[in-house]
Structure 1
Amino acid sequence: MINKRIRELRLSRGMSQPELAAKLGVSKQCISNWENDNIQPSIEMLIAISRFFMVSTDYLLGIDNKKYIEVSMLTEKQIAHIQMIIEDISAEKK
């Protein structure tokens, strides 16, 4: 599951494997190995990946499907605006 989640998150950001590797401080081959399920990221790297993509480690591990957006650096007004946008988009899907 980790391999699929990493690939999906990377592609959703329009990033190449070398770009993600540079952001995480690992080699392109490391990203390729994770995505091809040849090796698993270390616990430390799992945490780094989750922070970079702003998802929980549970999400990466396939334990839950919830996605989170880090908003601690935003004002309450900005957070409320984002919540309204999410509600509008969710209403369109129904």
Structure 2
Amino acid sequence: MESLGNRLKQLRQNNRLRQDQVASLVGVNKNTMCSYENDVRQPSYEILVRLATIYRVSTDYLLGCESKRTVDVSGLTPKEIQTITELVADMTEKNKKLEGL
């Protein structure tokens, strides 16, 4: 199972954020954020919820209880949502075929 620290670091990098930026958003210092990402310290429940909100994932995802990630489609038209859904399905099918090789 992937650790909380690994997920936090991956999400931060995927969102092209620096540790100091995330630390500022959640109300901790950069060293504390670094400790979370290196699994030296665990965030409080309040900070965990803030991190989940920033990254638009569930706390279950951060904690490794859930491997599925969701995509926030609010603000998109039904046609745009359908296009994204089809793209995800196509990529999933392609990856399944590649894994079978």
The CA deviation at 1:83 is 0.7
Compare 57-66 and 68-77 and name the one that shifted more. Answer: 68-77
2:88 is paired with a residue of what secondary structure? helix
The structure with the largest alpha-carbon Rg is: 2
The total of aligned residue pairs comes to 94
Q: Output one character per residue of 1:10-63: Cα deviation in whole Å (capped at 9) or x when no partner.
A: 122332212322333432112101112222111111111112112111111111
- Residue 38 of structure 2: aligned partner: 36
- Residue 70 of structure 2: aligned partner: 68
Give the TM-score normalised by structure 2.
0.78
Gap regions ≥5 residues in structure 1 = none
Give the TM-score normalised by structure 1.
0.83
- Residue 18 of structure 1: aligned partner: 20
RMSD of aligned residue pairs (Cα, Å): 1.7
Gap regions ≥5 residues in structure 2 = none
The CA deviation at 1:68 is 0.7
